[in-house]
Amino acid sequence: MPITTDDSPDAPATSTTRRALLITLASISAVVLLLDQASKAWAVRSLVEGERHELVGDLLGVQLVFNPGAALSIATGMTWLLTVVATVVIVVVVRASRRIGSRAWAVALGLLLGGAVGNLTDRWIREPGPARGHVVDFIAYADWFVGNVADIAIVAAAILIVILATLGIHLDGTRDGRGDGDSGDEASDEPRDEAGAPTGEARDVPTDAAPAVAPTTTTATEQNV
């Protein structure tokens, strides 16, 4: 009796795998959020706004900045719009996680979700008010820009997503060019017995071949004519 979809023995395994991937995604998000908020709390408590402390020469330092805009101080006058964008990103990631089937995608979405929630938290709890709060930045990269842990997670997620897209790995774990029918077995249509060995019944042997003609004997009369 053929196995139906509901009775498939692979269904529990698929559900278990997806549950494990969701746990991975949620765990990474929680770790990123915890590190981000803890480091921001340290920066607010320990650093003076605008004062830079060098860590690796001019390449890396710490400097407390309250950023009303996005990275590189873009859209500083549109804080509310950035709040909406971050909220949309979070909703999209949560919805996409229901189809997840790849560990690499779980890591990427976990980093993205944790980073987005980290900065969105600042938008809601920091001055000057809800949805308009300024994000705490304190990691100074040379003279380029000042960021935070959430930004690092978001950039890492973006890089990983680009790599996965380049490799053709989809959110559900499938890959481009690896369909179920691409087995490469040219003899798959040949009839086989119960043990899987070819039966040889499909050989191209003509069935209507003419029977061999028996040699005829020549009578003595015909020889004398």
Angle at 75 between CA 72 and CA 77, to 5 degrees: 130
Question: For tokens 């989809």, what's the residue?
Answer: 170
Question: For tokens 């040699």, what's the residue?
Answer: 215
Amino acid identity at 157: A
214: left (phi over 0), alpha (psi -120 to 50) or beta: beta
How deeply is 134 buried, as exposed, middle or buried, from its count of CB atoms within 10 A (0-12, 13-18, 19+)? middle
Question: For tokens 């691409």, what's the residue?
Answer: 182
Q: Any catalytic annotation for residue 151? A: yes
Is the separation of the CB atoms in 129 and 83 below 8 Å?
Answer: no
Say which of 10, 36, 151, 172 is annotated catalytic. Answer: 151
Question: For tokens 């969105």, what's the residue?
Answer: 120
Q: Any catalytic annotation for residue 36? A: no
Say which of 122, 137, 143, 172 is annotated catalytic. Answer: 137
217 secondary structure, DSSP code: P
Is the separation of the CB atoms in 169 and 104 below 8 Å?
Answer: yes
At 36 the three-state DSSP class reads: helix
Question: For tokens 């790599």, what's the residue?
Answer: 163
Tokens of 27: 């765990």
Active centre residues (catalytic)? 137, 151
